Chains A and B, each alone.
Chain A
C-alpha cells in the first residue's frame, strides 16, 4: 500500500489563470483534480521514485506555475482536505508540509469544515469553537445526531478521511495528417491511403488506453475547398479496421470526392477503452456489426448462396432438407 501524499496548489489571486495552471499541472503530474477555480489537488502517492520527494515536486511545480504569471502556494499532507487547508494558510511562493493532519487542524476555527451553516450554529451552541474540539467528539455520536454529511466533516477534522483525488484525463489532441504528391481520384485508392493515417491514430489511442467516439476527417482537394467528414463511432473503438470501415462508409455516401491531395484525421472525443472478455461462449453482440461486415465482403466475393445462416424449421421432419432452412446473411 502506498502512503497517501497529496499536493495542493492554490492561487487565490488569479482565477483567470485557472486554465493555464491546470494545463501546467497536467503536464507535470499524473493525477490532477480541480477542487475550485485555481485550487488543485495532485495525488503524489507512488511517484517518489520517478519524480522525487514531494517537497521537491512541489518546488518544481511552483516554478512552472510561476511562468504562467500566477503566484501559488503549495501544501503537502496525507489527505487532499488537509493539503488544501495547509496551502491556503501558506504565503504565496512557499511550500509547507504537514505529517499529522489532525494536529495541524486542531487549533483552527470550526468554520473551515465544509458543513451547512445551520450545523455550524448548532456546534457553536454546543460550545465547540475549534476543529480539535469537534474532532474529539465520539464518531458514533456525531453520526447519530447529525447524519452522514457531518460525520464526513468529522472524519476530515480528524485528518482521517482519505477522499480520493478524482483526476480528469488531460485534454489531448489525437491527430494525424498526410499530404500526397499525386492527387488521389479513386475512392478505393483513398481508402487504401487512409489506412496509414488510421493506423497512426489507432496506435495513439492504444498508447493512452482510449477508444475513439468521434472522428473528424478533413480532405484537402486540388480544385475545390476541403471536404469535412464527421463520424460517430459506435461502439467506441480504437481498432484500425473498425475506424477505417466507418470512414469508408462515409466516403461511399458521397457521389464525388474530387482530387484529394491530403488529409487530416482527428479524434475530438474519446472514452476510456474497456477490456473485453473473449466471447467464445458468452453473448458478444457488440461485435455482430463486424461479423456482418465480413459476411457482406464474402457475399460480394463468393456470390449468392455462399454466406448463410441456418435455422431448424421442423425438428421432426422425415427429410433432412425439410428440417432445415437456410437464409442469406446478406440479402
Chain B
C-alpha cells in the first residue's frame, strides 16, 4: 500500500492510472495545516505503507510550504516506508536528499503537447540525467547523464 498526502487536492487518478499506478493500493489523504504533518507521521509510523508521497504543490498556486512537514521527519528513521516529497521549492527548515527536476522543453506533435523533456540532478551538482516522457507510448526515455546537460537545462 502507498499513501499519497495531497493537501492541494490535485491528485489526478486518471493520470496515475495511465502511469501504471494501482489505485486499489493507494490511499489519498487530503490534509492541510497541522494535519499535513500528522498524516505524514501517521503513514510513516504505520506498518501498512511502504511508500508515503507528500505532494505539497506549488505555493504560488495554493500549495503548502514544504517546511510544514518538518515535524514528521523524525518518523522517517525506523519507518518501513520510503518518504518522497514533491515540492515546487526547496525547504528552508527541512534537510532531506533533494533531486531537482528542470524542464528542458515540451514535446509537441501536430500542434499538441504530447510530453516533456526534463533534466534531473542532485541539488548543488552539475550532473544531470535527461529524460523524455511522452503520452504517445507511455514510455520514459532515458536520454543520458552528462555534465553538459546542465547547460542544456539551464
Contact = CB atoms under 8 A, between A and B. Distances in A.
Interface string B20-57: 00011111111100010011001101111111000000
Given A241-B47, A284-B1, A294-B48, A320 B31 contact: no
A298 B27 CA distance: 11
B19 to A, nearest CB: 12
B143 interface: no
A292 B42 CA distance: 12
Contact of A311 (B23, B30, B35, B42): B23
Contact of A308 (B1, B30, B38): B30
B123 interface: no
A293 interface: yes
B46 A290 contact: yes
Contacts of B42: 294, 297-298, 301
Given A310-B23, A312-B13, A280 B51 contact: yes
Contacts of B30: 302, 305-308
A326 B12 CA distance: 11
B82 interface: yes
Contact of B82 (A280, A295, A306, A310): A280
A323 B48 contact: no
Interface residues of B, number: 31
Contacts, number: 99
B35 A287 contact: no
B13 A306 contact: no
Contacts of A324: 12-14
A287 B52 CA distance: 15
B140 to A, nearest CB: 15
A144 interface: no
Nearest to A242: B47
A291 interface: yes
A181 interface: no
B125 interface: no
A288 B27 contact: no
B23 A298 contact: no
A311 B17 CA distance: 9
Given A280-B51, A294-B43, A298-B42, A288 B80 contact: no
Given A278-B80, A324-B13, A290 B47 contact: yes
A291 B27 contact: yes
A280 to B, nearest CB: 5
A297 B28 CA distance: 14
B152 interface: no
Contact of B23 (A241, A242, A278, A309): A309
Interface of B: 1, 3, 11-14, 16-17, 23-31, 35, 38-39, 42-43, 45-51, 80, 82
Interface of A: 239, 241-242, 278-280, 283-284, 287-295, 297-298, 301-302, 305-312, 315, 320, 323-324, 326, 329
27 contacts: A241-B46, A241-B47, A280-B51, A284-B25, A288-B1, A290-B47, A294-B3, A298-B38, A298-B39, A298-B42, A301-B38, A302-B30, A302-B38, A302-B39, A306-B31, A307-B30, A308-B27, A308-B28, A309-B24, A309-B27, A311-B13, A312-B13, A312-B17, A312-B23, A315-B14, A320-B12, A329-B27
